[in-house]
Amino acid sequence: MRVIESISEMQQQANMWRKEGITIGFVPTMGYLHDGHLALVKKARQLSDVVVVSIFVNPTQFGPGEDIERYPRDLKRDLGLLTEYGVDITFVPYSHEMYLQGYQTYVEVKELTQPLCGRSRPGHFQGVTTVVAKLFNIVKADVAVFGEKDFQQLLAIRRMVADLNMDVEIVGHPIVRETDGIAMSSRNAYLSPDERQTALRLNRSLDEARRLVEDGERNGDVILERVRSMLEKGRGLRIDYAELRHPESLQEVSLLEGPTLLALAAYVGKARLLDNRLITPPGMN
């Protein structure tokens, strides 16, 4: 595996591959890799001739007081894992080259980024879409794979690609979970053993919502009341949001009449955790 730090070097290699008709699969990450990331790498390998993974803790998607300084990092371990998984290039750019002095150009997807995490983290998605657009220009990917745990992010990137006529296919990958059911996340490293037990309430509340719908419940208020009561049962968890949304527009859903996204975000200790489930009433696929 080759490690590239220079933007121009990465672009030169990508141009060479494209000239030779070699398809490029891409997985952008902020590092501290886990099996969820590696599942994206495996999917990219299935869909392309070569695979590029980027590792870049993007400063523009962190707001004031957020965790960029303590965001977990272990580049040596990450490179070892990516070597094992047959990644062709790991792109590890410098922040000062990604954002030149006087940088002032940003990409913004408007409506999709307003609710949910966009409401809680103003400016976050502008940072995400900007850095992803830059990475697409550098890596020149034919296909890019993103996890569905960050469902709103996935929708925003798809919208950006469609609106700006970017020549890259966006593929979503289902949430990968730990054996205890918690959605894999680099921020799980923040959790103490007791906090990890508390964090299991997110997945359990999603399971309960699905059971309610399978038993015939369609009223969104009833479903969300049950979800919130499960999340708040006991100490140690603070709900950021628990909402039912349309899985394409992210408009609020009050009555389930088709596939519906149940999106959760909660604070457990120092960690802000996300989880979601696409819930479909029986017979409404």
Q: Which residues are catalytic?
A: 37
* Gap between the Cα atoms of 132 and 137, Å rounded: 9
Closest Cα partner for 170 from 189, 188, 150, 200? 150
Q: How far is CA 67 from CA 6, 146, 221, in A?
A: 26, 22, 33
Beta bridge partners of 90: 3, 53
* Gap between the Cα atoms of 216 and 133, Å rounded: 43
Residue corresponding to tokens 């080259």:
97
Closest Cα partner for 82 from 56, 58, 53? 53
Residue 150 in contact with residue 274, Cβ under 8 Å? yes
Closest Cα partner for 244 from 200, 268, 197, 212? 212
Residue 234 in contact with residue 194, Cβ under 8 Å? no
Annotate 258-273 with DSSP letters as a single string: S-EEEEEEEEETTEEE
